Structure 1
């Protein structure tokens, strides 16, 4: 814990969503009027601790509401479910049931986790209700644009609705699944970890400790392919210490970092980093208007402290060797400089190969 306190601030504040970001969310159908807000769910009258299969405290509590509140809340949550994952119509509402409303007592966002079940076939899924925070919204949008994974979320006033990202929590995977993986699987996971680390570093998504990402195994012919996805976007472009955006400096990731050093040569690591940067550049090129609009929102917003911006741009100037960071005045400009650098390098190399 002593190391982490040096790396990160004790608590990140919540930044409001300004008019420009709100316009962006409306344009891309993220801003939708919803029937219930985060504060409404805080009216629970009691709770019990939620334990996992090993009888360990999950840091979630299951909430209980008065009879009249529960009827209204359940109906509103089912409507939100349809808005998030379907066409928003009421046709299937009679076939949905809200099985649980859990509240997390750990972390900055203190989310509610909603479990919705289809009573016809017993299939269920989750979504989350959180306090809207500008940096978190930027993190979600950057994930949607720059990563291989699309993501659904809705924002209305001070409430954020997020879809559940399926996967094995990183800390659980490292402890219980990684030791059972074959050597070939470990090599593949090492490759994915390098690419995930590079993606987080380039887009300035911080605090990717093992419990803030998930590992998703997918069967492909006679093998299992592992992908790594971020699930926590609170620390988007906030901290000033560059190490916060580099997964290898988080002690919770030590076993993954150790595995990378054992399974991959330096030349392979560099290759995978270049592959990931090239992928991000291609994503920006194929969605130029959306990317530019979002970055302009960040450049006209405040999502960090001036001291953090000053520290980070100086560290990036040394790390990347680009003096343009010196001109940056906020986190949006810092991120724009990084992404422009990545895109420029990709275009320079691809143009040389063409001729």
Structure 2
């Protein structure tokens, strides 16, 4: 199925509500920063950024007038210090803004900032985007419900995100996957099943291969691969359930084929159950934080009435849970979906305890 049929052509940016703004301030996500997204749009010229194979990356390198450049560089160093250090100016003398790149593709049209430490030539990236409530919910849910923590800041209409390191999924599939050993391919298949399940549970959409990265980790005598989402624009917006399942995007066809060739149906079911259990445990361990976020999301406008009606019907068919019929907002659909996963996990856990006690006492 093509993306035009699967997804809306353009997703609107939703404003941050007063309740969500208070949540961000409470959890130290809202911090005053010295530069806004619109400030970076004042570049006076740009050149195309090519990769090592001389192919267009869809990023352009922005150039600023001499007057603007000094102010922008100082502000970007300050943002770096706030995001990754203690916010002081002491480290500015050791930093250099090597590049400000602008992405011409996709909804968020981010700026990518490259900061270099002049003492050792190590460099770090971070991103500056327009604030969107959907994206913020996506980042927070990733922080709480995935195996990974995320660092980001919000101030008025500007969002600062740290860089998530890894090999872009499309590049990995094209250049690295053919060189993987059978054992590595089987492990990648397992991770894709878990990634697919995690996205569906927390309603993160549009995980085409260029919206996630493959993270290789060397462990003793082999390499372990993990899959991480890097784009959270399509959190809780689309109406079609397939949008929240990476397996249905043509860009992921080779990963789906990997699952078919390397895993049995029983193995796939086992890995799905493992991921649902892990998400349920994270819901429970996140305590009041995720409860507050879900309560705010339930009252927020982050999708269209048509999308809400379509998704609640499709999830009801999948889960056979009639309660989805009563959902009026996309946040209510998300909240009920997370409750469904948690409740099933707790029911199974109670059942296992009872069966264990019966065995002991018999």
Q: Same fold (TM over 0.5)?
A: yes
SS at match of 2:159: strand
CA distance in 1, matches of 2:97, 2:349: 51
SS at match of 1:128: strand
Asked if 1:314 is matched to 2:313, the reply is: yes
Deviations 1:20-70 (A, max 9, x none): 000110011000000000000000000000000000000000001011110
| Alpha-carbon offset, residue 350 of structure 1 | 1.0
1:218 corresponds in structure 2 to 217
SS at match of 1:90: coil
Which 5+ residue runs of structure 1 have no aligned equivalent? Answer: none
1:21 corresponds in structure 2 to 20
| Alpha-carbon offset, residue 285 of structure 1 | 0.7
1:52 corresponds in structure 2 to 51
CA distance in 2, matches of 1:96, 1:289: 38
Deviations 1:153-207 (A, max 9, x none): 0000000000000000000000000000000000000000000000000000000
Asked if 1:232 is matched to 2:231, the reply is: yes
CA distance in 1, matches of 2:296, 2:38: 27
Summarize the alignment of residues 51-130 of structure 1 with structure 2, pairs less than 5 Å apart.
51-130=50-129
SS at match of 2:300: coil
CA distance in 2, matches of 1:89, 1:343: 42
Deviations 1:292-321 (A, max 9, x none): 100111111000000000000001000111
| Alpha-carbon offset, residue 287 of structure 1 | 1.3
| Alpha-carbon offset, residue 86 of structure 1 | 1.3
CA distance in 1, matches of 2:351, 2:240: 35
CA distance in 2, matches of 1:29, 1:269: 39
SS at match of 1:50: strand
Deviations 1:95-149 (A, max 9, x none): 0000000000000000000000000000001000000000000000000000000
CA distance in 2, matches of 1:84, 1:194: 33
Normalised by the length of structure 1, the TM-score is 0.99
Deviations 1:3-33 (A, max 9, x none): 2111100000000001000011001100000
SS at match of 1:103: strand
CA distance in 2, matches of 1:93, 1:197: 41
SS at match of 2:303: coil
SS at match of 1:287: helix
SS at match of 2:59: strand
CA distance in 2, matches of 1:219, 1:145: 25
CA distance in 2, matches of 1:66, 1:196: 44
2:33 corresponds in structure 1 to 34
CA distance in 2, matches of 1:10, 1:83: 35
After the TM superposition, list the runs of 4 or more consecutive aligned residues in structure 1 that deviate by more than 4 angstroms: none
SS at match of 1:195: helix
| Alpha-carbon offset, residue 351 of structure 1 | 1.5
SS at match of 1:288: helix
Summarize the alignment of residues 168-183 of structure 1 with structure 2, pairs less than 5 Å apart.
168-183=167-182
CA distance in 2, matches of 1:346, 1:183: 33
SS at match of 1:219: strand
SS at match of 2:350: helix
Deviations 1:203-233 (A, max 9, x none): 0000000000000000001110000000000
CA distance in 1, matches of 2:331, 2:298: 4
| Alpha-carbon offset, residue 339 of structure 1 | 0.3
Asked if 1:350 is matched to 2:358, the reply is: no
2:191 corresponds in structure 1 to 192
Deviations 1:233-268 (A, max 9, x none): 000000001111111110000000001011001111
